[in-house]
Amino acid sequence: MTAPETNQPHKTHELAKTYDPRDVEGRWYPWWVEQGLFEGKDDPARSREPFCIVIPPPNVTGSLHCGHALFATIQDVYTRQARMAGKNTLWLPGVDHAGIATQVVVERLLKREGTDRHALGREKFLERVWKWKEQSGGTIDDQLKVLGSSCDWRRHRFTMDPHMSRAVREAFVRLYQEGLIYRAERLVNWSVGGQTVLSDLEVDSNEEDGELFEFAYEVADAMGESIVVATTRPETMLGDTAVAVHPDDPRYQHLIGRQLKHPFVDRRIPVIADSILVDPKFGTGAVKVTPAHDFNDFATGKRHQLPMVNIMNKDGTLNDNAGEFRGMERFAARKAVKRRLEELGFVKGSKKHRLAVPRCQRTNTVVEPLLSEQWYVKADVLAKPAIEAVQSGKTVIVPEEWTKTYMHWMTNIQDWCISRQLWWGHQIPAWYCGDCRHVTVSRDDAKACEVCKSTNIVQDDDVLDTWFSSGLWPFATLGWPDENAPALKTFYPTTIMETGFDILFFWVARMMMMGIHFMGDVPFRKIYLHGMVTDEKGDKMSKVKGNVIDPLDVVYGIELEPLVSKIKDGGATDAALKTARNTYPEGIPAYGADALRWTLSTYPPQQRKIPLSIKRIEGGRFLCNKLWNATRFALPMLGVVGARGVAHESEGNEHDKIAQADLDAPPAPQTLADRWILSRLSATAAAVQQGIDEFRLDDSTSALYRFFWNELCDWYLELVKPVLSPREGAPKVDADAARVTRATLARSLEATLRLMHPFIPFVSEELWQKLPKPSDRPGSIVTAPWPTPGARDEAAERDMAALQGAIGAVRTIRTEHEISPAASVHVRLCTDNAELRALLQREEIAIRTLAKVDPLEIVGSGTRPAGFATSSAGEIEVQVLLKGLVDAAHETARIERELKRIDKDLQGMEKKLSQPAFTEKAPPEVVAEARARLDELKTARARLEAGRGLIDELKG
């Protein structure tokens, strides 16, 4: 396979000085797809280990937001890593039909056209929704591609596809036949705005200001006597069928069993005693009971066999049972009832009251408890094995603390109302017989009643809750109900379900129940729940607040004015607009998908909030730029011509080309730097792997970052410079050593790119293509082998630490004394450790180069010639000649500062060691460590004391 023309490896292609994601991203994705790199292979025999993630399907209504960017990043990291590790990898994409959300959107469009769905009729309306879906349904998929999501697009699924619809019917019919789906008349959550029933989970209750309104019922046949009740919804009194008091409440004993006179409707209502409903300390201690419009009252009504009087139509207006208030809208009726009660003199008071108001998630209208007949799934039966699966560890929830929440919800699970009075969705496969009233439930469209064979049947108007079909997602997308479907056999159970914790119940729990029930095995081995993306201050992103970060703006960049008008269109307040202007005075630069992905990978998973900030994304781009430049720097040293442009070559700085044989079978490292970087690479590969295994991508990215930036760039590349690209006149380096170093450089850089690829797929591919590499590598980094950690070289790591310490000490003295970076200094490195001296001797060039040292003496300790400042680095005493470079006052100040710091540590350590309790009871290695530290501090202190003498020398 051949990479896109401009990206041919080893071809002359100048790398820009600064990385520009817009030049790179976008070029690779089509090529990857074309090459079929993202395709999972059906392999029922499982000859290769399968890896599968099914995407949490976004709404067809949706376009990309930060939550999507987060899940896309995490899932793609896992998918790409598994693919590189050689697994048969499938990330299956798709979208969800999102019943209410979609219907609401299309109805809004119709309204703008001056019509509505009822005028259109069901069939025409559905045509319209499908049309709309065709237009906008692909948006989110395209946006996921922008982020680099390596999905197998051939297997894209939609919850309303014919196949998915077949699965839904199969599931419904089976559950019905098993008695796990039934119809019942109950009080339900009715969305007046959406004109449908909602499940408990689709209702959001938030505290709002309300009123506790008190009024009196007159006792019938007892002049003047009355009982005062309180309510937050006065209009419901029209449906009252009792007033309840506490059985032990002395105030009302005499009224229990008496009848009250309803002021507006011709009904007598009893005073009943109920200890469950009534809290005698609250309000007046007397509660009006409206069984058809309140969940508690409903239960009370059942206990006392009270009549249920429904006073409301489904559109929120009052019905004939409301007497003089019939036809009024519910909130108008509330005012009217209050006014009439006032006129009649029954109003006894009103207080402000905070109460939880239930609202429909989708339409934000107040949800009304309403009596109606709906379809339910019997949940406890399905929940039981789903609980056991988590208890036994067949499915593991990460982070672990969610397990408790899952268990709690599952064990207290309520039956699930699955019918919705919508048109957009899977119509319930139940047909009612007009003759014998039998309900026929069938996989195929029923033509006749299965009992009386009458053709006078009509299908249930309602559709199923979207989550019912989503619950089948992990297996229906793979081919179920065809139990022999190759994909199903290959990839079920899936490996990881990764999604936001907010849909643990909505979706994850239901997939668990359905998966186990229909497949006999859990739908996934791991459930990984991530937090919610917020703005940098931790506030939820909202269009009104104007703090929404659009991932695409981060990727492509956006100018200030377009950004502002975009936020404005979202409905932001003026204050929010001002904030936005201040936050992004220059708009947002193009950071690229890689930078965004990297940043999203750096947040720890147990965090509930992911405060995404532009500043952090900027950090991601800096990393990409650094990677770009490190490669740009290395390429010429590996003999790749032209990477830094013609100018560089004309300077006569020619490099030997790396031999293919050295790439295919890298020679063993010899120099300290080479041994060290390979050892650190091993450590890093292990840390990255561990982070992935433990769902700590933050650990993986931070290990990678530190390795690449603080080790590979800060030290290794610097150490390699004098070897592979010596200055004119510099000592000649052994050709064979250079050869080995060249191979090691190529090797470590290539491995770094592979380790980074799951996180930043675009730049890593771009750079990898240019890099010389072993001949057995595939054509794309996408399928290049995942690095496995090699051996560590403890000696090299220890020696390198000593070297870094010595260089660091020189550098510190240099800056503390404001010695010009251009000036060379005379340095003496003193130690009685002969091995150390030999090491320093071997690394002479490194010390001279990295600390700008000349001349350099490496000697035994004991003397300090006049004019030298001293400092220590472990066993090494570092002496730097200051005479002529600095003045005495500076040095005095520095020494006093240092002494103060050391004395503080020294005192602490001495105190610790002087306590017998510590030396006797603490583990020996801890005590030994403390002693060693104490010695070190003492030596350092002595050297500083000695350095005091320096001051006079400097004066002199």
Partner RNA sequence: GGGCGGGUAGCUCAGCGGUAGAGCGCUAGCCUUACACGCUGGUGGCCGCAGGUUCGAAUCCUGUCCCGCCUACCA
Residues in 266-305 at the binding interface with RNA, rule: CB under 7 A: 277-285, 287-288, 294-296
Determine which residue in the list 649, 797, 905, 953 makes contact with RNA, applying CB under 7 A: 905
- Least distance (Å) between residue 629 CB and RNA: 3
The reply to whether 232 sits near RNA by the rule CB under 7 A is yes
Contacting residues for 230 by C-beta, under 8 A, at least 6 apart: 212, 213, 214, 283, 284, 286, 287
Task: State how far the Cα of 172 lies from the Cα of 376, in Å rounded to an integer.
Answer: 11
CA-nearest of 644, 645, 598 to 618 is: 598
Report residue 640 CA to chain centroid gap: 40
Q: Which two tokens stand for residue 516?
A: 């186990």
Please give the residues from 602 up to 631 whose contact with RNA meets the rule CB under 7 A: 604, 606-609, 611, 615-616, 619, 621-622, 624-626, 629-630
Q: How far is the CB of 130 from RNA (least distance, A)?
A: 32
CB neighbourhood size of 108 (10 A): 9
At closest approach, how far in Å is the CB of 910 from RNA?
Answer: 12
Task: Write down the least CB distance from residue 630 to RNA, Å.
Answer: 4
- Based on CB atoms, which residue is closest to RNA, 50 or 761? 761
Contact between 702 and RNA per CB under 7 A: yes
Task: For residues 243 and 129, give the distance between their C-alpha atoms in angstroms, rounded to a whole number.
Answer: 48
CB 816 to RNA: min, Å:
6
* Using rule CB under 7 A, residue 87 touches RNA: no
Nearer to RNA, 441 or 683 (CB): 683
Structure tokens given for 633? 């720097």
- Minimal distance, residue 692 CB to RNA, in Å: 16
230 lies in the binding site for RNA (CB under 7 A): yes
CB of 288 to RNA, least distance (A): 6
933 binding RNA? (CB under 7 A)? yes
Touching RNA, residues 823-852 (CB under 7 A):
849
Does position 356 interact with RNA (CB under 7 A)? The reply is yes
When the beta carbons of 625 and 870 are compared against RNA, the nearer one is 625
Residue 642 as a binder of RNA (CB under 7 A): the answer is no
Among 537, 732, 900, 955, binds RNA (CB under 7 A): 537
Rounded least distance, CB 734 to RNA, Å: 16
User: Is the bond preceding 667 in cis, omega lying within 30 degrees of 0?
Assistant: no
Choose, by CB under 7 A, the member of 436, 456, 915, 945 that binds RNA: 915
Contact between 514 and RNA (CB under 7 A)?
Answer: no
What is the SS3 assignment for 49? coil
**Options 120, 222, 308, 355; binder of RNA; rule CB under 7 A:** 355
By CB under 7 A, tell whether 538 contacts RNA: yes
Determine if 401 is a binding residue for RNA (CB under 7 A). yes
How far is the C-alpha of 158 from the C-alpha of 424, rounded, in Å?
Answer: 13
Strands 396-398 and 524-530, how do they pair?
A: parallel
Site for RNA in 13-52 (CB under 7 A): 17-20
* Cα–Cα distance measured from residue 121 to residue 125, given in angstroms and rounded to the nearest whole number: 6
Residues 121-160 that bind RNA (CB under 7 A): none
Of the candidates 305, 322, 304, the one whose C-alpha atom is nearest the C-alpha of residue 313 is: 322
Contacting residues for 810 by C-beta, under 8 A, at least 6 apart: 825, 827, 847, 851, 853, 878, 880
- Residue with Cβ nearer RNA (734 or 929): 929
Q: Which residues pair with 921 in a beta bridge?
A: none
Which residue, 52 or 703, is less far from RNA as judged by CB? 703
536 near RNA, rule: CB under 7 A: yes
* Binding piece for RNA, criterion CB under 7 A, among 23-31, 349-357, 455-463, 789-797: 349-357
632 binds RNA (CB under 7 A): yes
Give the whole-angstrom CA distance, residue 766 versus residue 27. 9
**Site membership for RNA, residue 231 (CB under 7 A):** yes
Query: Scanning residues 184 to 203, which ones bind RNA (CB under 7 A)?
Result: 200-201
DSSP string, 607-620: -SEEE--HHHHHHH
**Smallest distance from RNA to CB 356, Å:** 5
Which range binds RNA by CB under 7 A, 110-118, 415-423, 433-441, 714-722?
714-722
Binding to RNA by residue 451, rule CB under 7 A?
no
Binding-site member from 808, 844, 892, 953 for RNA (CB under 7 A): 808
Contacts with RNA in 872-901 (CB under 7 A)? Answer: none
First to last CA, the chain: 74
| Residues touching RNA, count (CB under 7 A) | 94
DSSP readout, 60-128? TT----HHHHHHHHHHHHHHHHHHHTT-EEEEE-EEB--HHHHHHHHHHHHHHTT--HHHH-HHHHHHH
- Rounded Cα gap, residues 701 and 691, in angstroms: 8
CA distances (Å), origin 336, targets 264, 314, 332, 342, 663: 12, 20, 6, 10, 87
Instruction: Determine the interface stretch with RNA among 65-73, 106-114, 475-483, 816-824 (rule: CB under 7 A).
Output: 816-824
CB of 929 vs RNA, minimal distance in Å: 7
For RNA, the closer of residues 397 and 782 by Cβ is 397
Site string for RNA, 552-591 (x = CB under 7 A): ----------------------------------------
Helices (H), 694-823: 697-705, 718-724, 735-756, 761-770, 794-816
Number of C-beta neighbours around residue 356 at 10 A: 12
**Listed residue (226, 510, 212) closest to 346, CA to CA:** 226
Provide, rounded to whole angstroms, the least separation between the CB of residue 943 and RNA.
16
Cα–Cα distances (Å) from 48 to 40, 42, 482, 487, 755, in that order, read 11, 10, 23, 14, 22
Compute the least distance from the CB of residue 733 to RNA, in Å: 11
What's the number of CA atoms in the CB half-sphere (13 Å) around residue 37?
27
Closest CA to 423 of 391, 460, 373: 460
- Answer for which of 633, 676, 707, 786 binds RNA (CB under 7 A) is 633
Stretch in the footprint of RNA (CB under 7 A) among 87-95, 716-724, 743-751, 862-870: 716-724
